[in-house]
Structure 1
Amino acid sequence: MTATRIDGKAHAARLRARIAEQVAELKQAHDLVPGLAVVLVGEDPASQVYVASKGKQTVEAGMKSFEHRLPADATQAELLALIGRLNADAEVHGILVQLPLPGHINESEVINAIAVKKDVDGFTVANSGRLATGQRAMVPCTPLGCLMLLRDQMGDLSGKEAVVIGRSNIVGKPMASLLLGDNATVTVAHSRTKDLPEVVRRADIVVAAVGRPEMVKGDWLKPGAVVIDVGINRTEAGLVGDVDYASAVEIAAAVTPVPGGVGPMTIACLLANTLTACCRANDLPDPAGLTG
């Protein structure tokens, strides 16, 4: 058996097209245009490429894109002042501060300065807590994209056994909350989990988000499992995920590749969250099929 290659790039393209349609309908019906502000501090090359891609896709979806660049030596007070202005700007419905930030800036303080309704990354304590307790929240983009891929591949996730490898606040923990919300049985595993391969072998769904190149081997997997690889690791051989793709495709039913799997979904879900934030700011129903 050779696994299905889950094409995140194609799925993201379809999602962006659906978002663009809903953005156009929102403008026609209510004269509203969602606006996304992205803040970049410093000149990290990877971050610059990512920010440029976000801006391009925002405009292509019919939204307003606001880009703010601060020098690497900008103070935390300057960054917080900018966030304060964006919080108060009615044209801005979503605010994203590109991470990582320079070492002299406290990331937690900056993230939690973003207005909860404009926190399209879903990283604030308020949104994290709401998601964990089953309340309406802005959902972090990468886990939301993973959930969409799983639903598309598997349909109803109710009763499925899922293992999430990784317990970060950005992916692991919110992913577990989303899977629980879909009535899966969830185990959160990590570097100190005893007999990790045996834990993974019982899973119908494996989400790998641990940051270790090709750690999850094919013989760890239950035959027919669906594997979502969140990892992006730069090696001498190029970009690889947290899953050994070559061996996984011999056992699993479906696997996301790296690159071309989860990555494209992250930006598409950022656009989805911006549209959702605009609707919520104007007391309109959430857009269909975009909120997890």
Structure 2
Amino acid sequence: MTTIIDAIKMCDENIIKYQEESKKIKEVINKQPKFVIINASNDEGNARYIKGKIKAGEKAGLIVEVITFEDNCNNDEVLNIIKKCNEDKTPVILQLPTFKHLDTEGLMKAIDYDVDADGFAREWIGEVNLGNDKKIAPATPKGVISLLEYYNVEMEGKLALVIGRSNHVGKPLVNMLINRGATTICANSKTKNLENLVRQADIVISCVGSQNLIAAEDIKEDAIVIGVGFTYVNGKQILDFDVDQIVNLDKAKYVSNRINCTGKSTINSLIDNVIELYKINFNIK
């Protein structure tokens, strides 16, 4: 029987843990811990994601401050906020995408690694590559791994196929799977005969954003199928595969839901990163 992976229970259990951690942090720093989201964009998707981050952060006992810029903003204005967070040791993210006229890469690099809640800094990526991903890691791959661990998915010795090679998702996810003993293949949307790799893989994680990239009939018996990449079709969020088709074939052991899954686990991991940054910066056990 194919089980649909849902992140809600895991996230709710983690939030209770984060509430206790937030209380400890408050006792040490003598104020409620804060998390800053910089939104330099009018992207509709950003607004939805930020809403979810505010809700999760506040439930975890954090103050979530959203600083929104208009389309006439400049790099220096955004940079000033980043510098203030660096100085105050306040965890911060720059919500992506940003306005096209901004130097997004430069602004991201300006965020000190010890306040980088997204886990994108080269120091954290380097730690992931060295096998040290238990504390801070890019939020989306960290969320995927947390789901696999929550559902007791055995990764050691398994053939894992990651489709996608982005610096923030695909590449770190490959290394995080390797860290757990998986034999990992990194493919992408241009990989020839991708279906042959899918047929062999025990774990398939697609991070592309291409409708019907993976055909249900190609899924191996008892495989784990996780969707990170998605696109919108007629206002509906569509994964890189059809969840219903995979469930109906009843070959896969687990398949991720279209909603209430990797998006929620990503936000949950972001909150985890915020908590860990405070513990690191203020030497909290």
TM-score, normalised to structure 2, is 0.92
Give the match for residue 49 of structure 1.
Answer: 48
Q: Counterparts of 1:187-206 in structure 2 under 5 Å?
A: 187-206=185-204
Give the match for residue 205 of structure 2.
Answer: 207
Q: Which runs of 5+ in 1 are unaligned?
A: 286-292
Could you tell me how far apart the structure 2 residues matched to 1:44 and 1:189 are? 29
8 Å Cα contact 1:163-1:189 kept in structure 2:
yes
Give the match for residue 24 of structure 1.
Answer: 23
8 Å Cα contact 2:42-2:99 kept in structure 1:
no
Over 3 Å counting, the alpha-carbon distance change for 1:237 and 1:282 in structure 2 is: closer
8 Å Cα contact 1:214-1:245 kept in structure 2:
no
**Cα shift at 1:30:** 6.8
8 Å Cα contact 1:164-1:176 kept in structure 2:
yes
Could you tell me how far apart the structure 1 residues matched to 2:67 and 2:234 are? 34
1:5 has 2:7 as partner: no
Give the match for residue 219 of structure 1.
Answer: 217
Structure 1 window deviating more from structure 2 (61-70 vs 125-134): it is 125-134
**Cα shift at 1:237:** 6.9
Could you tell me how far apart the structure 1 residues matched to 2:24 and 2:188 are? 44
Give the match for residue 290 of structure 1.
Answer: none
Give the match for residue 169 of structure 2.
Answer: 171
Over 3 Å counting, the alpha-carbon distance change for 1:205 and 1:32 in structure 2 is: farther
Could you tell me how far apart the structure 2 residues matched to 1:59 and 1:261 are? 20
- Which amino acid in 2 is paired with 1:263? G
Could you tell me how far apart the structure 2 residues matched to 1:222 and 1:19 are? 37
- Which amino acid in 2 is paired with 1:37? V
Could you tell me how far apart the structure 2 residues matched to 1:262 and 1:134 are? 22
The one of 104, 122, 125 equivalent to 1:125 is 122
Query: Which deviations, in whole Å up to 9, do the C-alpha atoms of 1:147-193 show, x marking residues without a partner?
Result: 01111223442111100011111210011111011111100011232
Give the match for residue 252 of structure 1.
Answer: 252
Give the match for residue 143 of structure 1.
Answer: 141
Could you tell me how far apart the structure 1 residues matched to 2:29 and 2:107 are? 32
**Cα shift at 1:28:** 4.7
8 Å Cα contact 1:240-1:259 kept in structure 2:
no
Could you tell me how far apart the structure 1 residues matched to 2:64 and 2:202 are? 40
Q: Counterparts of 1:81-160 in structure 2 under 5 Å?
A: 81-90=80-89, 92=90, 94-135=91-132, 138-160=136-158
8 Å Cα contact 1:229-1:262 kept in structure 2:
yes
Could you tell me how far apart the structure 2 residues matched to 1:47 and 1:34 are? 23
**Cα shift at 1:15:** 1.8
- Which amino acid in 2 is paired with 1:21? E
Could you tell me how far apart the structure 1 residues matched to 2:197 and 2:102 are? 38
Give the match for residue 265 of structure 1.
Answer: 265
- Which amino acid in 1 is paired with 2:88? D
Q: Which runs of 5+ in 2 are unaligned?
A: none
- Which amino acid in 2 is paired with 1:99? L
Could you tell me how far apart the structure 1 residues matched to 2:188 and 2:108 are? 25
Could you tell me how far apart the structure 1 residues matched to 2:236 and 2:49 are? 18
SS in 1 for 2:65: strand
Could you tell me how far apart the structure 2 residues matched to 1:77 and 1:26 are? 31
Could you tell me how far apart the structure 2 residues matched to 1:79 and 1:26 are? 27
**Cα shift at 1:82:** 1.6
8 Å Cα contact 1:119-1:138 kept in structure 2:
no
Query: Which deviations, in whole Å up to 9, do the C-alpha atoms of 1:58-87 show, x marking residues without a partner?
Result: 122111222211112211122112211111
8 Å Cα contact 1:9-1:260 kept in structure 2:
yes
Could you tell me how far apart the structure 2 residues matched to 1:34 and 1:177 are? 31
**Cα shift at 1:217:** 1.2
TM-score, normalised to structure 1, is 0.90
Give the match for residue 70 of structure 2.
Answer: 71
Could you tell me how far apart the structure 2 residues matched to 1:184 and 1:34 are? 36
SS in 2 for 1:154: coil
SS in 1 for 2:184: strand
